[in-house]
Amino acid sequence: AQSVAQPEDQVNVAEGNPLTVKCTYSVSGNPYLFWYVQYPNRGLQFLLKYITGDNLVKGSYGFEAEFNKSQTSFHLKKPSALVSDSALYFCAVRDSGTYKYIFGTGTRLKVLA
């Protein structure tokens, strides 16, 4: 069965510092991995995805994520955090051969000025 874990409910980081939001997954086939961001009272916005190819994926707003097959992880990163990055972040996985996307419980990122 597919599953996604976001082990941290909240991550606090100072503005200008690098940030990491963690995600691990479990699928039986090849994973398709996604990160989304949600601002207050809004729907989710797509940030980036891993399908195949390079393990380091670059996305919107300066975010990137590294696919690590051996550790079954897909952590979201940004070299220098902005206060405006403060939001709720969701990791999602889809197993090849299925329509369903499984979402993590979300990590609230707080960037402090």
Partner 1 sequence: DVKVTQSSRYLVKRTGEKVFLECVQDMDHENMFWYRQDPGLGLRLIYFSYDVKMKEKGDIPEGYSVSREKKERFSLILESASTNQTSMYLCASSLDPLAGRKNNEQFFGPGTRLTVL
Q: Shortest approach of partner 1 to residue 23 CB, angstroms?
A: 12
Residues lying near partner 1 in the complex (CB under 8 A) are found at 9, 32, 34, 36, 41-46, 49, 51, 90, 92, 94, 97, 99-101, 103-106
Q: Shortest approach of partner 1 to residue 25 CB, angstroms?
A: 13
What residue type is 80 in one-letter code? S
Q: 57, 29, 43, 51: which is closest to 90 by C-alpha?
A: 43
Q: 59, 55, 3, 9: which is closest to 27 by C-alpha?
A: 3
Question: Which CB atom, from 15 or from 88, has the smaller least distance to partner 1?
Answer: 88
